[in-house]
């Protein structure tokens, strides 16, 4: 009986050791956002705080009631009341509603940060409301460090598409339409720039 138990344990150890050495296994790396400016965060019981700006990036365990209107109106009213916590302007003029999604669990109101009607790359906010329309969760990539600037693009949309195609060495027929749209981008090494987003 001991011999059988020994054989069984040895087989399992051998099997798992071979699985561990098989192939060139490497742990998956997290999604890398090339050159986008990111700041260290601090996790608290109330949410996740951007240490540099001192604003909430995630706010959970909320149950903010007392607002009325549509889901979008409630989300905007909440943000106006708590604008300092998220680094917003007091009137929330830099937020453009992208969509309102209703689910069995409530509502999700999506906003994009805009400056001079140009979106900020990765500047999205999502406000979640429960079915009774109480604010329960906020996720924010709002970038308060990007200020209002009045500059024009250095190149045209067509030039941006050509540069992107050349850089990626695209050959053959494309399946979809090429498009370029202006965005504000905050890079690690060059700061705030007006750029073309090509897709």
pLDDT tens track for 6-52: 555 655 544 444 444 433 334 444 444 567 777 788 999 999 999 98
Q: pLDDT of 43-53, one tens digit each?
A: 999 999 999 88
Q: Which residues contact 82 (CB under 8 A, 6 or more apart)?
A: none
Say what the pLDDT of residue 190 is.
Answer: 81
* Tokens 């109101």 -> residue: 109
Dihedral sign for Cα 93, 112, 103, 47, please: negative
User: What DSSP assignment string belongs to 98-110?
Assistant: EEEEEETTEEEEE
Alpha carbons 94 and 86: distance in angstroms, whole number: 12
Q: Which residues contact 26 (CB under 8 A, 6 or more apart)?
A: none
């Amino acid at each position: 009986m001991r011999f059988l138990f020994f054989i069984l344990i040895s087989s399992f150890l051998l099997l798992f050791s071979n699985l561990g050495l098989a192939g060139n296994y490497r742990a998956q790396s997290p999604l890398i956002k090339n050159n986008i400016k990111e700041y260290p965060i601090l996790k608290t019981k109330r949410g996740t705080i951007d240490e540099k700006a001192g604003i909430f990036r995630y706010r959970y365990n909320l149950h903010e009631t007392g607002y009325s209107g549509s889901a979008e109106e409630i989300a905007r009213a909440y943000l106006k009341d708590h604008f300092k916590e998220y680094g917003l302007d007091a009137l929330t003029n830099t937020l453009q509603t992208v969509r309102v999604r209703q689910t069995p669990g409530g509502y999700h109101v999506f906003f994009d940060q805009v400056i001079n009607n140009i979106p900020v790359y990765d500047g999205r906010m999502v406000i979640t409301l429960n079915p009774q329309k109480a604010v329960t969760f906020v996720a924010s990539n709002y970038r308060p460090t990007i200020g209002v600037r009045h500059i024009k693009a250095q190149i045209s949309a067509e030039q941006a598409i050509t540069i992107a195609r050349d850089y990626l060495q695209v050959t053959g027929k494309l399946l979809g339409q090429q498009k370029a749209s202006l965005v504000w981008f905050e890079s690690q090494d060059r700061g705030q720039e007006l750029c073309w987003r090509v897709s």
